[in-house]
Amino acid sequence: MSQLIKQHILRAKTGDQQAYKALLNHFWNDIYRFQLSKTNNENEAEDITIQTFSKAFDKLDTYNDSYNFKTWLLTISKNIHIDALRKTKAETISLNNDFNESYDITDEAPSPEDQIISEQNLAQLLIYIKQLKPHYQKIINLRYFQELSYKEIAKELDEPMNNIKVKLLRAKKLLLEIITHKNL
């Protein structure tokens, strides 16, 4: 494991939002491809990938650095997939939610994505946002146009706050990619 990844993990353990974002960006494709090979469904793979990062960030203090971080993420992802399969087979709904606790990601300084988003012409920005998947459009709308907090968004969408945080990080990254690609 690279020294940079180790630094990101240590910083993330202290609640550093940029470190969370760096880990998400670095490992997203690996976890997503793994889930896509398991599910053969883009939406399901994306949902499980979001849940993987949500759970991993919530339980980051339990990570043992003598193991490879990617392997740890893949194990979490595999277990979430197995749990989803069991729930589907049993056709039961669990009222127990293991994601109620959240890690703190502060909203202090705007990230580069936040700065670009706020600097864009509103009409053009809306065109870019419409290129995102509907669930990402909704979370961007709730956060930046309705100015809801993470907690309010979690309540509105009836999802754990960790999922909201990961989805928003991912939505901002995808939106930045769309904006920078169109401006090249």
Residue entry with tokens 């339990």: 62
Torsions phi, psi for 58 (to 5 deg): -70, -35
CA distance 113 to 179: 10
pLDDT of residue 152: 92
Q: For CATH 1.10.1740.10, list the domain ranges present in the chain.
A: 3-90
pLDDT of residue 30: 93
Contacts with 159 (C-beta within 8 Å, 6 or more apart), sequence order: none
Residue entry with tokens 């300084």: 109
What are the tens digits of pLDDT across the range 25-74? 999 999 999 999 999 988 888 889 988 998 898 888 888 888 899 999 99
| Cβ(105)–Cβ(116) below 8 Å | no
Q: For CATH 1.10.10.10, list the domain ranges present in the chain.
A: 112-182
Q: Nearest Cα to 141, choosing from 160, 122, 116?
A: 122
3-90 belongs to CATH 1.10.1740.10: yes
112-182 belongs to CATH 1.10.260.40: no
Overall pTM > 0.85: no
